[in-house]
Amino acid sequence: MTARVIDGKAFAARLRDRIADHAHAFEERAGRKAGLAVVLVGEDPASEVYVRSKARATVEAGMASFEFKLPADAAEAELLDRIAKLNADPAVDGILVQLPLPRHMNEDKVIAAIDPNKDVDGFHVVNAGRLAVGQHGFVPCTPLGCLMLLKDQLGSLEGLDAVVIGRSNIVGKPMAALLTRENATVTLAHSRTKDLPDVVRRADIVVAAVGRPGMVRGSWIKPGAIVLDVGINRVEGEGGKTRLVGDVAYDEAKEVAGAITPVPGGVGPMTIAVLLRNTVVSAYRREGLDLPKDAI
């Protein structure tokens, strides 16, 4: 048996098309575009690439993109002042501060300064709390994208055994909360979990988000399980060329799993699509408009 390949790139493209439709409908009803503001501090090359791709995707979806760049040696107070202005700006529905920040800035303090109702990254503790207790809030983009892929593959997740490997605030913990909300039976595993391979073997759903290339072996996977690989690891390949690999040993796992995401092209494309989704949702909520029924 060879696993179905879950095409996250194609799914994300369809999602972005729906988002664009809703963004245009919002503009007609509200008389303005939904707006996403991205703040970049410093000149980290990877962060600059992410910011450009987010800005391009925002404009392609028919939304307004606001970009703000601060030098690496900018004072934390300057960044906090910029966030305060964006919080008060009626044209801005979503605020994203690109991480990581320079070492002299406190990331927790910066994230806490963002209006939770404009926190489309879903990192604010208020939104984390809303997710934990089942209230409406913004969920981090990657785990919400994973949930969309899972429901597309399986429909209902009720009663299924799910293992999330990795307990970060960005992926692992919110992923576990989302799966719990869908009535799955969830184990949040991590580096100190005893007998981790045995824990994973009982799972109908495996979400790997540990940042260790190829850690999850094919022998760990229950036959027919759905495997989502969140890992993006750069390793040196043949001829010294760098290539991207996930946290799952893909070639092994695809011979056992029922369906699996590749790296790249699996979970990754969902992140920006869900960011756009969150921004449109914020715009509708802030204008007091009913959200579209297809639950973007």
Task: Write down the pLDDT at residue 47.
Answer: 87
The series of mean pLDDT values per 10 residues for the chain, 296 residues long, is: 93 96 96 98 89 95 97 97 98 96 96 98 97 93 98 97 97 97 97 95 98 96 98 82 92 97 95 96 96 69
Is 222 an active-site residue? no
Which residues are paired to 4 by β-bridges? Answer: 259
Domains, in order of start, for the chain: 27-121+270-286 (3.40.50.10860), 141-268 (3.40.50.720)
Q: Which of 33, 93, 119, 121 is catalytic?
A: 121
Is 294 an active-site residue? no
Task: Write down the pLDDT at residue 46.
Answer: 84
Task: Write down the pLDDT at residue 280.
Answer: 97
Angle (nearest 5°) at CA 148 between 244 and 119: 85
| Count of CA atoms in the C-beta half-sphere (13 A) of 113 | 20
Task: Write down the pLDDT at residue 295.
Answer: 54
Is 98 an active-site residue? yes
Task: Write down the pLDDT at residue 60.
Answer: 97
The span from the first CA to the last CA of the chain, in angstroms, equals: 33
Task: Write down the pLDDT at residue 296.
Answer: 58
What is the torsional sign of CA 48, 11, 246, 205? positive
Q: Which of 33, 54, 118, 173 is catalytic?
A: 54
Beta strands per DSSP E along 209-252: 226-229, 233-236, 242-245
What pLDDT digit, counting tens, does each position of 120-135 carry? Answer: 999 999 999 999 998 9
Token pair 């439709």: residue: 21
Single pTM value for the model: 0.95
Which residues are paired to 242 by β-bridges? Answer: 236
Alpha carbons 31 and 259: distance in angstroms, whole number: 43
Cβ atoms within 10 Å, residue 237: 11
What pLDDT digit, counting tens, does each position of 210-225 carry? Answer: 999 999 999 999 999 9
